[in-house]
Amino acid sequence: MTRKPTSVSGRRPREVVADTLRERIRTGKLRPGARLPTQRELEAEFSVGRSAVREALAALTQEGLLENVGRGASPTVAESTHHPDAPRSAGVELADRLHEAFQAEDVAVDAFSLTTETLNNALAWPVRQVMDHQLTPRSVTARVLIPSLEARLALPRLIDDPEDPKPRERLHQIQTTYVNALSNSLNSLAQFGTEVTLTVRTVPLTPTHKLYLLNGDEALIGYYQVVKNEEAAFEGEQLALYDVLGLTAKLFRSTRGPQARDEQESSFVEESQEFFDSLWTTIAVPFG
């Protein structure tokens, strides 16, 4: 669900906490069954408020990484019940696949979504690995498509007044925040010898799905679920919206080449790339 960020320069406090804990879980520093530090200890470690810690823990719980949250004791790392072929939430699946993609010499990422929030969160792990010299891509090229402010978007919109422009203006603020954060994150890799090219364009469409294409060989697609969001804030006003869930949407992965299960899966990746390229080369215009 889209929410109004609190910082234009980078990640919000809850994202810093969630990204760090998520990486500790993925790398095995926090193993299944391990108990996390207390909320007070996390506040002290990250120099953040209680609300940021709680929101971070809630996000990791939604992703299936934590359990026993809010029961008086510190939460524990969840036991993995994931089948290798089962779809996972976008926040988890995209991070893992990007980490794999960043092992290539030349990395290519194409993304079509409502905002770049999920992409920003998922990039935190491979970017950190580059900074730690554990991943060493020569170049990273990212092309991002998001809906334009001028478009008559179906979502998000006010429940009681579909014509009110405030949800679109709020969305544009969120888009700008995350695009700036994405630019800062990727461009930070330049000091580690990685050539970075990021291009963001907009299209006059309401995304009903999010699509990520990695190194031309892999497609990840997830569908936005429409929900009621009655806690959205914009310029001091509370808004009741029809909004969408993106970070927790499940991503379905397809590959082409030797790893493809069949010709249909391989063709789906090719068709997804052609879909993205068709938007990019025709009706897309620079973001700004």
Label residue 157 by pLDDT band (50, 70, 90): very high
pLDDT attached to residue 103: 95
pTM exceeds cut of 0.85: no
| DSSP one-letter code for 79 | P
Mean pLDDT of the residues in the chain: 88
- Say which residue the tokens 């530090």 belong to: 37
Q: Write the pLDDT tens digit of every residue in 246-267.
A: 877 899 999 998 888 889 999 9
CATH 1.10.10.10 fits 13-77, yes or no: yes
Q: What is each CA distance from 97 to 17, 122, 128, 145, 148, in whole angstroms?
A: 21, 9, 15, 19, 27
Q: What are phi and psi of 201, to 5 degrees?
A: -130, 165
d(CA 172, CA 176): 6
Is pLDDT above 80 for 239?
yes
* Alpha carbons 252 and 93: distance in angstroms, whole number: 9
Q: Tell me whether the CATH fold assigned to 13-77 matches the one assigned to 88-286.
A: no
CATH number 3.40.50.1170 is the correct assignment for the domain at 88-286:
no
Q: What is the rounded average pLDDT of the residues 192-204?
A: 97
Express each pLDDT in 101-129 by its tens digit.
999 999 999 999 999 999 998 998 899 89
59-101 per-position pLDDT tens digit: 788 777 888 766 567 888 887 655 556 778 888 899 999 999 9
pLDDT in tens, 42-52: 999 999 998 88
Q: How confident is the model at residue 5 (pLDDT cuts 50, 70, 90)?
A: very low
Of the chain, the percentage scoring pLDDT greater than 70 comes to 92
Strands 285-286 and 195-203: antiparallel
Q: Is the pLDDT assigned to residue 3 strictly greater than 50?
A: no
Residue-level pLDDT at 56: 84
Is residue 1 pLDDT above 50, yes or no? no
Give the range among 15-24, 63-72, 133-142, 256-265 with minimum mean pLDDT. 63-72
User: Cis link prior to 156 (omega < 30° from 0)?
Assistant: yes
Alpha helices (runs of H) in the chain, residue ranges in sequence order: 13-26, 39-46, 50-62, 90-101, 117-131, 166-187, 263-281
What local confidence, expressed as pLDDT, does residue 10 receive?
52
Return d(Cα 112, Cα 143) in angstroms, integer. Answer: 9
Helix axes 166-187, 117-131, angle to 10 degrees: 10
Which residues fall within 8 angstroms of residue 190, CB to CB, at 6 or more apart?
196
Distance between CA atoms of residues 242 and 147, nearest Å: 17
Domain boundaries, the chain: 13-77, 88-286
Among residues 274, 242, 109, 266, which one has the least CA distance to residue 186? Answer: 109
What's the longest Cα–Cα distance across the chain?
A: 55
- The pLDDT of residue 80: 64
Helix (H, G, I), strand (E, B) or coil at 254: strand
- Sorted by sequence, the CB contacts under 8 Å of residue 186 that are 6+ apart come out as 123, 127, 140, 142, 196, 198
- Tokens 């179906």 -> residue: 154
Give 7's pLDDT tier (boundaries 50, 70, 90): very low
